[in-house]
């Protein structure tokens, strides 16, 4: 079964969610990041996707103290992204408690540097952030669109050693209208040997069950889905914060994940 990975997005040290990556469409939440992380852990989740949105539109990590606090006061396995644009940022992230880092813009703008991190830390520590808009990779906190086709871009980094990819369809993110099932179907059938973490648009547990079906390679509409890559995890953000998916549902779901 696909694992649920809750997400916490940070601006100014506080929990927020954006709609389609638009910083002007920001929802602030009263829960402190640490309190939310503890609730996530209590729901039986073992992983957390933590994003420094201030860092994503800056030249360096900003909210690493939030990372440090969550890492020292929970046992969650944290992948951290946003603002990782230099060797120093990578060092800060790992020293602050990140188990893995996610690089997106840097993989487009400075591929040599990003590849050096893969070689230095290993593919288990470095995740490729392949967030896209209209099939093109987006950068700079999703404020700009590159010329890179998302699947071609992912394949190019798989050849350089990347094993895990977080892929978000920006048009779906924060809208609670469901994820980009078609994009993930294409991803799984057109890429080889990559671990896909689906992200963006999850609105209900039904969406997760549909992703389970796609990820399992189950025949749909008479078409055999012969997956070449895998989809072991899905990131859930706004649906959890807004109560469309409850902690009780996650607890119940998580009891079946390892059966």
Rounded CA-CA distance 47/66 in Å is 16
Q: Are 178 and 203 in contact (CB under 8 A)?
A: yes
Catalytic site positions: 9, 131
Q: Are strands 3-11 and 14-19 parallel, antiparallel or unpaired?
A: antiparallel
Rounded CA-CA distance 111/221 in Å is 40
Rounded CA-CA distance 11/132 in Å is 22
Per the listing, tokens 């992948």 go with 79
How far CA 138 is from CA of 59, 100, 174, 187, 242, in Å, comes to 16, 21, 16, 17, 26
Largest CA distance in the chain: 51
Rounded CA-CA distance 82/105 in Å is 9
Q: Are 10 and 66 in contact (CB under 8 A)?
A: yes
């Amino acid at each position: 079964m696909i694992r649920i990975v809750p997400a916490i997005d940070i601006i100014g040290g506080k929990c927020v969610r954006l709609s389609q990556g638009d910083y002007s469409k920001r929802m602030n939440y009263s829960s402190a990041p640490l309190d939310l992380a503890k609730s996530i852990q209590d729901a039986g989740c073992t992983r957390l996707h933590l994003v420094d949105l201030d860092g994503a539109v800056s030249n360096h990590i900003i909210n690493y103290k939030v990372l440090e606090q969550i890492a020292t006061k929970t046992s969650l396995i944290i992948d951290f992204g946003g603002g990782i644009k230099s060797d120093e940022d990578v060092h800060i992230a790992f020293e602050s408690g990140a188990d893995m880092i996610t690089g997106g813009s840097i993989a487009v703008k400075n591929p040599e540097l990003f590849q050096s991190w893969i070689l230095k830390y290993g593919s288990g520590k470095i995740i490729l952030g392949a967030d896209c808009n209209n099939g093109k990779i987006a950068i700079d906190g999703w404020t700009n669109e590159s010329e890179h086709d998302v699947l071609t871009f992912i394949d190019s980094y798989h050849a350089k050693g990347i094993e895990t990819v977080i892929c978000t369809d920006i048009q779906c993110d924060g809208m609670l209208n469901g994820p980009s099932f078609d994009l993930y179907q294409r991803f799984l059938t057109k890429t080889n040997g990559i671990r896909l973490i689906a992200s963006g648009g999850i609105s209900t547990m039904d969406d997760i069950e549909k992703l389970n079906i796609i990820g399992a390679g189950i025949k749909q509409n008479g078409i055999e889905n012969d997956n070449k890559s895998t989809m072991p995890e899905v990131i859930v953000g706004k649906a959890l914060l807004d109560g469309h998916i409850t902690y009780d549902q996650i607890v119940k779901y998580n009891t079946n994940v390892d059966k």
